[in-house]
Structure 1
Amino acid sequence: MRVALGLACLIWVPVIAEAQERPTRDAAGYLADVTGVWRSPDYGLLAEIRRDGLSLYHEAGGLCLPDARDAEAQAEGFAVWSPVEGPVAEAVFAEVPGGTPYLFEGASGVPAACHQKLTPAQRFDFAVATLRQHYAGFAARHIDPEALLAEVRQAYPVIDTDDALWGALSRIFIRLNDPHSELHGVIGGVEIELAAGEAPTLTAVGDAAAQKTWLAAYRDGILSGLLRGQGHHVGNNRLFWGVRDGVGYLNIVTMGAFDAKADPSDTQALEAILDEALTAFQGTRAVVVDVSNNRGGYDSVSRTIAARFYDQPRLAYQKRPWREGQTTTSTSVVIQPSSRVRYTGPVYVVTSDITVSAGEIFALAMRALPQVRLVGSTTRGALSDQIEKPLGEGWRFSLSGELYTNPQGEVPEGRGIVPDTPWSVFEGRGHAANLAAFIDGLKP
């Protein structure tokens, strides 16, 4: 989900700040310098790179499972690399030049365990070991993992069927209540899934049909009410913008998919829309950027938008993988000002409990600016990349395996980003009326 950097600069602290990235492949396949077996303890990954291809494995608790995705998907994070100077063989791999770096160390080979079929009990043990080693949200969500595991073991003392495996694991994932931690299984040939962590605001709205009606009212309220019929609904219906009484208004409902014919992470259409909107915002007394209904997407898109409000390079946030109760390597994200149309006057970023994932990354990046204030309600608290893991037999799960921090070192994972000025976004008169009242209160 989180791929190319866009306008951000990543610096891996401390080992490769000056490293020179190199391609891993030529026309004939992987280059000799990267062939071999590489292990990432931070993510529980093992990569076997051969001249003719790459095989990815996942390790936890002495167990191992091959990655179930196709060859192209497995190779995504290994397009470029940088060697790391030191007493042992280490390398940093990334999906694209300047992309999120993943540190790997040389390994002697692929363990035999990676080629053995696991029983339902072993698959349960693999999932539990992975969560113990890499899940970053236990403390933030006030969960004692050992107490939770003891409870599950008592309910399922024997896990020897897929039904028991689903029952045991679903108890864990329901307790996590984390939008980035999902469980997908297959029982009797039927695919089932568990995705928790819904926003209370959306839970209160009701089922899918009720939410569809709610979204239509949300859209009409912005266009007819807030922007008085003078607004723009563009970017594959992902963006609203307009000007109300000398204040610019920009609403972003996803961080990506702005062009139905392009890759979801593509920003060409987005950049053109931002050029038009920010040109119209020049001379306004303030701009309101509304991500109160933002459902996430790509961090690179969040940074691309945030860069339109940056006046100079600034540290936006840091990102660390979580391993066995501690953070190890760290990535600092510095956003550079966009070379296109920018707005550097007063900005208010509107958030809510719906704001999640890359929407929260945007809020984090914007909060680093002195002219920005966050208003609304606390965000969902699910910032980590969604780390996907196989579970064998067509099963898989995901978890939040990273911690994001603001420049002051504060961790919003599991807690959410608290606005500078709290106020209700959706309650009372509703979203459009509440936003109109807020904008009208921004007197010259």
Structure 2
Amino acid sequence: MRFVANTDALIIDLTENGGGYSPTDSYLGSYFFDEESVLWSSSYTRPTGETETEHTFKDVGGERYLNKPVFILVSERTFSLGEQFAYCMKHFNKAKIVGQTSAGAAHGIDYIEVNDNFMIQLPLTHNIHPVTKTDWEGTGVIPNINTNSNSQAIKTAHLNALNIQIESLKKQTIVGPILKRYNKIKAEINNH
């Protein structure tokens, strides 16, 4: 995050992210909130009836990335914790999601032994986002901006980031180089 702290916009590519382990998502998400801890998500476990909560971190290593455009790329191959990060960032209005609807794997599973020969896989936990009061199980993370491919998603996010930059710079006189890149990427998208 120190490396990208001075950028004008950020694109996070989760199109091939198959998941991971908490609290990786809430730690990364903490960079997009101020120091006050915020409820990131909750997880209800059916067998115990317990609800665990996950919050953003007050202390992070490096500078926070505040009040700048963030785009998260997702695809049907984005899964589990990758989806949770995208879902939380979208519904906290911290990022725009670009790409195709993700896999829809929100519920935690476990294997239950039926007998010596068989096991079954059952969902035991489900996530609860503090804003939506639900999760992305079965529906996936639905993009703000739909694209047909991962290559189109990156170009679309880049184009949107440049568009925001152009609008910001219209009040200044150094729009030329940015406008040239913007038109090049726009032409590439239109050619597909």
Structure 2 segments unaligned to the other structure (5+ residues) = 166-192
Report the equivalent of 1:378. 101
Match runs of 1:125-140 below 5 Å: none
SS at structure 1 position matched to 2:46: strand
The aligned residue for residue 17 of structure 2 is: 294
Label 1:436 to 1:398 Cα distance change in 2 as closer, same or farther (>3 A).
same
Match of 2:38 among 287, 309, 314: 314
* CA deviation after TM superposition for structure 1 residue 433, in Å: 4.7
Gaps of 5+ in 1: 1-277
SS in 2 for 1:441: helix
Given residue 417 of structure 1, which amino acid in structure 2 is its aligned partner? V
Q: CA deviation at 1:389?
A: 1.5
Q: Which has the higher contact order (CA 8 A, sep 6+)?
A: 2
- Code of the residue aligned with 2:40 in structure 1: it is A
**Is 1:407 paired with 2:130?**
yes
What is the identity, as a one-letter code, of the residue corresponding to 2:44? R
C-alpha displacement at 1:287, in angstroms?
0.5
Contact 2:10 2:71 in 1 (8 A): yes
Contact persistence 2:42–2:130 (CA under 8 A): yes
Q: Distance between the aligned counterparts of 1:338 and 1:289, measured in 2?
A: 22
Report how far residue 300 of structure 1 moved.
Answer: 2.3
Matching residue within 278, 282, 285 for 2:5 = 282
Provide the aligned C-alpha RMSD in A: 2.4
Counterpart contact for 2:99–2:153, Cα < 8 Å: no
**Distance apart, 1:376 and its partner CA:** 2.1
- Once the two structures are superposed, the pairs formed by residues 41-440 of structure 1 within 5 Å of their partners are 278-311=1-34, 312-322=36-46, 328-341=49-62, 342-344=64-66, 345-393=68-116, 395-408=118-131, 409-419=133-143, 421-426=144-149, 431-440=150-159
Contact 1:405 1:412 in 2 (8 A): no
How many angstroms does 1:310 deviate by?
Answer: 2.6
TM-score, length basis structure 2:
0.70
The count of residues paired between Structure 1 and Structure 2 equals: 159
Deviations 1:224-243 (A, max 9, x none): xxxxxxxxxxxxxxxxxxxx
Aligned letter for 1:310? F
Following TM superposition, by how much is the alpha carbon of 1:332 offset from its aligned partner in structure 2, in angstroms? Answer: 2.8
- Between the aligned partners of 2:73 and 2:8, the Cα distance in structure 1 is 17
The structure with the larger Rg is 1
Cα gap change, 1:374/1:433 in structure 2, threshold over 3 Å: closer, same or farther?
closer
The residue that corresponds to 2:170 in the other structure is none
SS at match of 2:11: strand
Q: Structure 1's 368 and 333: CA in aligned 2 closer, same or farther, altered over 3 A?
A: farther
Specify whether residues 402 and 306 from structure 1 end up closer, same or farther in structure 2 by C-alpha distance, changes over 3 A only: same
Q: TM-score, normalised by structure 1?
A: 0.33
Query: Once the 2 structures are TM-superposed, how far is the Cα of residue 297 of structure 1 from its aligned partner?
Result: 2.0
C-alpha separation in 2, matches of 1:396 and 1:436: 45
User: CA separation of 1:434/1:415 partners in 2, compared to 1, >3 Å: closer, same or farther?
Assistant: closer
Larger fraction in strand: 1
Partners in 1 of 2:20 and 2:53 — Cα distance? 20
1:230-284 CA distance string (max 9 Å, x none): xxxxxxxxxxxxxxxxxxxxxxxxxxxxxxxxxxxxxxxxxxxxxxxx2231221
2-side partners of 1:338 and 1:369: how far apart? 19
Aligned to 1:441: 160
**Deviation at residue 437 of structure 1 after TM alignment:** 4.0
Identical positions, percent? 21
Check the 8 A contact 1:308/1:337 in 2, yes or no: no
